[in-house]
Structure 1
Amino acid sequence: MKIEVLENPEQDLIDFLDKKIDDFNWANWEVGERLPLAVQIKNADGEIVAGAAARSFGDWLLLDTLWVSDALRGQNIGSKLLKEIEESGKKRGCVKCLLDTLNFQAMPFYEKHGYKTQWVQQSYPKTGCKYFMVKELF
């Protein structure tokens, strides 16, 4: 056997490895499904101008992304999207929400909405940090 270092691996290899880990996890995890969830806002031309994407599994909602276009920022749109996706998660049985945000992103926004920092990854990727935040969904 030989270990081969690939500086620019093919996407097929990455997909293969991800699938192998997914197969192992699903065979051993206590939940049987992870369901995608999203909310969006479109303008009159049908273009997406804001949205959020998450996954629900077990008791958890994992918020992957929340984005609002520059033109809509400061108009409470992010708060409305966050509330909608949290409510949708609660309807699926989620009792907690987990997210991460970088130091230059939206930590104060999430704190305003009841999220608490559980862990900070310092020096990420060099001099910044990443906040892992959790909220109980009541």
Structure 2
Amino acid sequence: MKIEVLQNPEPELINYLDKQIADFNWANWEVQERKPLAVQIKNEQGQVIAGAAGRSFGNWLQLSTLWVSEQLRDQDIGSEILKSFEDAGKTRGCIQCLLDTLNFQAMPFYKKHGYETQWVQENYPKTGCKYFMVKTL
């Protein structure tokens, strides 16, 4: 048996290891289903110009991404998207929402919408920080 450190591992190895831990987790986790969820706004040409994505599992809704194009910012579009995403999560039975955001991103926006910081990862990735936020829906 030999331990090898790979400075440039093949994506197949990363995928294999990710799948092994995912298989273990699914075999032992109390939740048997994770459902993707997204909200989008398209322009007349059919291009996505704003949206949100995440997933629901058990009692939780997880927001992974919320993005609004430059031309739509400062028009409360982000608030509408967030509300639509949360409402869809409630429809699925979610009672809490989890997200993370970086110090230069949208922490004040989420705070305005009732999210509370549960934990701050300091010095991320070097001098910034990452906020982990939760809201009861």
* TM bucket normalised to smaller: over 0.9
Cα deviation for residue 61 of structure 1 reads: 0.2
CA RMSD in angstroms, aligned pairs only:
0.4
Aligned pair 1:105/2:105, yes or no? yes
Cα deviation for residue 4 of structure 1 reads: 0.8
1:11-70 per-position Cα deviation (integer Å, ceiling 9, x unaligned): 111110010010000000000000000000000000000000011000000100000001
SS of 1:45 mapped into structure 2: coil
Matches within 5 A, 1:1-138: 1-137=1-137
**Residues in 2 aligned to 1:3 and 1:47: alpha-carbon distance in whole angstroms:** 48
Taking structure 2 as the reference length, what is the TM-score of the superposition?
0.99
**Residues in 2 aligned to 1:90 and 1:104: alpha-carbon distance in whole angstroms:** 29
**Residues in 2 aligned to 1:89 and 1:99: alpha-carbon distance in whole angstroms:** 13
1:91-124 per-position Cα deviation (integer Å, ceiling 9, x unaligned): 0000000000000000000000000000000000
One-letter amino acid of the structure 2 residue matched with residue 13 of structure 1:
L
Count of residues paired in the alignment: 137
Percent identity, aligned pairs only, is: 74
One-letter amino acid of the structure 2 residue matched with residue 29 of structure 1:
W
Query: Any stretches of 5+ residues in structure 2 without a counterpart?
Result: none
Structure 1 stretches of at least 4 aligned residues deviating more than 4 Å after TM superposition: none
One-letter amino acid of the structure 1 residue matched with residue 28 of structure 2:
N
**Residues in 1 aligned to 2:34 and 2:96: alpha-carbon distance in whole angstroms:** 15
Taking structure 1 as the reference length, what is the TM-score of the superposition?
0.98
